[in-house]
Amino acid sequence: ETGVTQTPRHLVMGMTNKKSLKCEQHLGHNAMYWYKQSAKKPLELMFVYSLEERVENNSVPSRFSPECPNSSHLFLHLHTLQPEDSALYLCASSQDRGRIDTGELFFGEGSRLTVL
Amino acid sequence: QKEVEQNSGPLSVPEGAIASLNCTYSDRGSQSFFWYRQYSGKSPELIMFIYSNGDKEDGRFTAQLNKASQYVSLLIRDSQPSDSATYLCAVNGASKIIFGSGTRLSIRP
């Protein structure tokens, strides 16, 4: 079993749809992250949750809505997306946000999103 | 100016040679520097981190840091085909990790 699991692995949606991405970590970590990875662009940090509290919202459009019900689960709710939102969405976790200086982020396999 | 810059490549290196990957960063206050490896279709994984000026060695990998010049590099000795991947440089800044766009490395047999 991988440490960080993301579902679905692939998602195709229309601009008027509402869908959600799910992330679950089995590492006992208490910080979780959403990153966006587009072709030839750096990984973009979207949201950070530490102890279920959102501590970072990196100027992400409101059509992306995160939810962290507990320290093991993280969701990204999607609605009225645009074609330019098509990308790989990566979830990551770390031991605690105070350890972020070690850079030990553990990534899931990602959810490949295509918006038509 | 990009916060973390890398040459996108591809960098092609013959098997057994040394692969040299470079990265520059803009925030002089950065304290921690990381190299992640990402195989095609897979997620990034941390392979090296370095905090102090100089070299840090781990097996075939050596990370080099020069804070005065604001660059960090990764050397891979005795390159193997399995080293073919995209290498992401990352720097801590304002309590978050900032990534470069990555360098694609190809090891040719």
> What are B6-43's pLDDT values in tens digits?
998 899 999 999 999 999 999 888 888 999 999 998 99
Mean pLDDT of B56-84: 96
Q: Do A102 and B44 touch (CB under 8 A)?
A: no
> What gap in Å lies between CA B61 and CA B75, rounded to an integer?
6
Which residue would you say has higher pLDDT here, B83 or A40? B83
CA dist B98 → A102, B33, B78 (Å): 13, 10, 29
Low pLDDT (below 70) residues in chain A: 1-2, 96-103
For B32, the closest of A45, A90, A101 (CB atoms) is A101
> What gap in Å lies between CA A61 and CA A38, rounded to an integer?
16
For B42, the closest of A41, A100, A109 (CB atoms) is A109
